[in-house]
Chains A and B, each alone.
Chain A
């Protein structure tokens, strides 16, 4: 039942992660080109710093959020739940996911509000007294957080269903397959 939305969420998160990787690679090349240019011709490539901070950095910082969540890769304190049995552990993890999801909705809403506002005023920065538009980068943050919320929603739903059905699953496996069908682990 959740197969289609789950597929959509994970495909979207993966796509964003690829974009974030692309931004990372282009950033390394762009900055290096700037250094080389400066050394050879004594002139920097205009706007490297501005594009770097407002586009590459925002993309690298926020686009992979959903992908990391999909793999349960956000840094968390493990040692309390580590020794717990699977079922009680899953109940706690459900609440952890719920808190994270609610926060992500606030995060999404206020990033959206901010992006709308900056779009309306046409936010820009000056590069050698020439304006460079930066409001589109505000939407990178919105898209990244949206990917994060989307994954969390599916994970929450699947974890709740697995709990209800009395099966066990780890958070990192929730997006991998149809939840809880092949973990083989019982408590």
Chain B
């Protein structure tokens, strides 16, 4: 059997297994083991199964993932983020579409600190969206902003998916994490700009709500419940950026700081700690299952020679960086209809990495673009996970089509952001270029 035929059958089997709800990690592993057996014989396949899972997990860089997850789980379970929306609401409420802008920035902070797109969407759906609806905000705008902003957590550090990317791409993890800061902020500001412009042009989208005049003292009181968040982000980002800490160390210190601040704010309980530990441990085990599948799949594809054949084509035809990025965008948006972000990324990296190498593309820059693309897939129909989470939280108050229509405006903003990021790689590469 030719390698191409093996590859084709493998792909078909993979799709069938995924469709009947075999877990992504298992489906990848099974296809890879059968594939390696066909290409190189059973000894190679079982040799891979014997050594790869352990060797993959026993890596220092990867241990940033459970640490980031733990820090994020404690931050959200201890309620360290609850004051964020209230404060932003007062500070930004005077703008056109003020509550939506406040939701946008509170959500960006929440997503960055908790690292969970789903938790962010669900929380905003419970606190911010009802308030906007009660104030006669356009339902599409209200649900759209709360669904879209959750995706920012994947780009702004600490980010789980970026650590996974860096491990697989063998890119410097600290630099890729730091590289996400400016694109993340750019996205947040583009979202805010889009909201303000729309509400300025069409004031009936967001009726003005008079905001109270507060004394300096009252402003400071708003800051009291939220001070741990800037501290945590600063500690993690600063620790990595300065080179004083590795990503894992920054995550561990972040988790311990989160526990300590929750104690200082009288929000600590052992039940909260236990819940956070379980969440982080379960997510890590689940992620590692997918990652082990992906590492076996990488081995299979490498042995089948598909990635080298592809990168040879890229080199032979002198394909431009732009056309590669556009092609990836199409493939990712398509895969985003079926798979979760981490699944898409790990499934495609074995094919893409040799291509990036052949086309001499910066692994830091393209990493951020890939993460942005998979996260945009969380917003597009027919799956659009974030939109469904929003629908689940908000219930009958807003129909699904309205939420998708509201999210559409944020996709327009994303096109602007992506164009800027592709046209000006400096936006992504500026901060990491100052690290050693």
Contacts and interface: CB of A to CB of B under 8 A. Distances in A.
Interface of A: 17, 20-21, 24-25, 27-32, 34-35, 49, 52-54, 56-58, 60-65, 67-68, 71, 73-81, 92-93, 95-96, 99-100, 103, 106-107, 110-111, 113-114, 137-138, 141
A96 B54 contact: no
Contacts of B51: 114
B316 interface: no
B330 interface: no
Given A74-B23, A93-B21, A27 B286 contact: no
A47 to B, nearest CB: 13
Q: What are the 10 A-B residue pairs with the smallest beta carbon separation, nearest first? A: A31-B252, A74-B23, A64-B285, A21-B277, A61-B57, A61-B288, A92-B20, A110-B50, A80-B19, A28-B255
A113 B53 CA distance: 13
Contacts of B340: 75
Contact of A21 (B58, B274, B343): B274
A52 B54 CA distance: 13
A113 B256 CA distance: 38
B306 interface: no
A27 B23 contact: no
A29 B253 CA distance: 8
19 contacts: A21-B278, A21-B281, A24-B277, A24-B284, A30-B252, A53-B59, A57-B63, A58-B58, A60-B285, A63-B285, A64-B285, A68-B286, A74-B286, A75-B24, A80-B21, A92-B20, A100-B26, A103-B29, A137-B58
Interface residues of B, number: 56
Contacts of A141: 53-54
A117 B57 CA distance: 19
Given A24-B281, A28-B67, A67-B285, 17 more contacts: A17-B282, A21-B278, A27-B252, A29-B252, A29-B256, A30-B252, A31-B248, A58-B54, A62-B285, A63-B281, A68-B282, A68-B289, A79-B382, A99-B27, A99-B30, A100-B26, A113-B50
B338 interface: yes
Nearest to B46: A110
Interface string B267-309: 0000001100110111011101110000000000000000000
B281 A106 contact: no
A127 B277 CA distance: 29
Interface in B14-52: 17-27, 29-30, 33, 46, 49-51
B22 to A, nearest CB: 4
B8 to A, nearest CB: 20
Main secondary structure of the interface of B (DSSP, over half): helix
Contact of A27 (B33, B67, B338, B342): B67
Contacts of A20: 281, 285
A77 B58 contact: no
A28 B256 contact: yes
A79 B101 CA distance: 33
A27 B66 contact: yes
A102 B181 CA distance: 43
B99 interface: no
A56 B59 CA distance: 11
Interface in B345-404: 382-383
Contacts of B30: 99, 103
Contact of A17 (B57, B245, B248, B281): B281
Contact of B26 (A71, A93, A99, A110): A99
B249 interface: yes
Contacts of B429: none
Contacts of A100: 22-23, 26
Given A21-B274, A56-B63, A138-B54, A67 B282 contact: yes
B24 A77 contact: yes
A76 B24 contact: yes
A34 B245 CA distance: 11
B23 A76 contact: yes
B281 A53 contact: no
A78 B92 CA distance: 39
Contacts of B383: 79
Contacts of A62: 53, 57, 285, 288
Contacts of B252: 27-32, 35
Contacts of A27: 63, 66-67, 252
A25 B259 CA distance: 11
B430 interface: no
Contact of B289 (A65, A92, A99, A138): A65
A72 B290 CA distance: 14
A24 B63 contact: no
